[in-house]
Homo-oligomer: A and B are copies of this chain.
């Protein structure tokens, strides 16, 4: 089996462990530290990002331990020395994590997660935290643009085959957070309770001696409410066969190729003429947010999205980083720290984050600060406690995250929902 019982702790870059080794030896391992997760910029003209993966991260945090199997491997391959192995054997994260709620929109510099603990215990989580958040947030950001473009018509996630098999499950979950109605992925239903969908592929039609025979077999087994794929041979004949096999109560027909706008219009007219006025039209051919928007005027009832969803529609990673912003000094007080090198400089110190809304309730500023946090109805707090003293206290579900995303997106100015390339929807303002 591919994953032979390893815990998530080895889903980690080696340098986290070698840093722990050197810091244990130098004595610095026990210094209190604050790490912040943020994106320096949004990808490629995007207006906002979407935090996703938090729930998946917290679930796996419980298992982020080193058991006999992991320790034996690290010892065999001489990755770290004996004192470090001993420390790893007792490792569990005992610090605090705060962060933006899953589903929340974020802007450049937003401290989407803050991890506090000793250096050793907090640095251990760096790679894993970034993997989960960078992947899931990239998918959710693309999905959010797609559900915006679909303007209320259901979007269905079907991209598992175009990404790593486990990434596909996480993508289905992230898409759901950003408003997708369901997914083709069985494991997304099993693990996260996400509605799953799917009926048949071209192979099912080709398997039978005729299209009509295939449709009859499908309807006999799956009922007239099923979706028949009508473009294996000729779409017009396919629609005729579909209604012949299922009657006018047929649930839906699916189009997976060709000019979808033109075809959807022709198929709608044909279905209506045949009396199948309630039969829906599902389209599924290499859609992205732009193709979805272009079909706004077409009589399409839902969109199946695959490749472009699971690859983040041109932005497959969110590019978040995990940076040390404060650490305990020799005298026991916390010292803000930041890298000075060109282009990648960051601001030291632990930041609070508020979203300021104007009198109409529209967000106009992402306000970050180091000092006193202002109060007032115009400010919405963005950070919440996720883990306290190593105990997971946030138990938000994917449905909770979906609700938060809807609220958060609706609060952004209307420019946020434009698909064209542009600036971040609201400015990030750093107060000192």
Which of A124-132, A292-300, A351-359, A362-370 is found at the contact surface with chain B? A124-132
| B337 pairs with A206, CB closer than 8 A | yes
A204 interface neighbour in B19, B184, B202, B311, Cβ under 8 Å: B19
Q: A167 contacts which chain B residues (CB < 8 A)?
A: 135, 163-164, 166-167
| B1 pairs with A187, CB closer than 8 A | no
- A108 interfacial contact with B, CB 8 Å: no
How many copies of this chain are found per oligomer? 2
Query: How many whole Å from A129's CB to the nearest CB in chain B?
Result: 8
| A60 pairs with B166, CB closer than 8 A | no
A163 interface neighbour in B33, B81, B317, Cβ under 8 Å: B317
- A432 interfacial contact with B, CB 8 Å: no
Task: Decide yes or no: A23 and B217 within 8 Å by CB, A196-B14, A222-B18 being known contacts.
Answer: yes
| A189 pairs with B22, CB closer than 8 A | no
| B202 pairs with A258, CB closer than 8 A | no
A166 interface neighbour in B3, B24, B258, B316, Cβ under 8 Å: B3
Q: A341 contacts which chain B residues (CB < 8 A)?
A: 231-233, 235, 256-258
- A319 interfacial contact with B, CB 8 Å: yes
Q: Bin the interface of chain A by size.
A: 35 or more
Query: How many whole Å from A13's CB to the nearest CB in chain B?
Result: 4
The closest CB in chain B to the CB of A346 belongs to B202
Query: How many whole Å from A136's CB to the nearest CB in chain B?
Result: 8
* Most-contacted residue by chain B among A164, A207, A217 (CB, 10 A): A164
Q: How far is the CA of A340 from the CA of B24 in the complex (A)?
A: 65
A56 interface neighbour in B2, B128, B209, B235, Cβ under 8 Å: B2
- A190 interfacial contact with B, CB 8 Å: yes
- A428 interfacial contact with B, CB 8 Å: no
The closest CB in chain B to the CB of A201 belongs to B15
| B343 pairs with A189, CB closer than 8 A | no
- A119 interfacial contact with B, CB 8 Å: yes
Query: How many whole Å from A193's CB to the nearest CB in chain B?
Result: 9
Could you pull out 28 A-B pairs where Cβ atoms are within 8 angstroms?
A: A2-B60, A3-B166, A10-B187, A10-B190, A11-B165, A13-B158, A14-B185, A14-B189, A15-B200, A16-B198, A18-B199, A19-B203, A22-B218, A25-B220, A26-B216, A26-B217, A33-B203, A73-B190, A77-B196, A131-B165, A131-B168, A135-B164, A162-B317, A206-B324, A209-B329, A209-B330, A233-B339, A307-B317
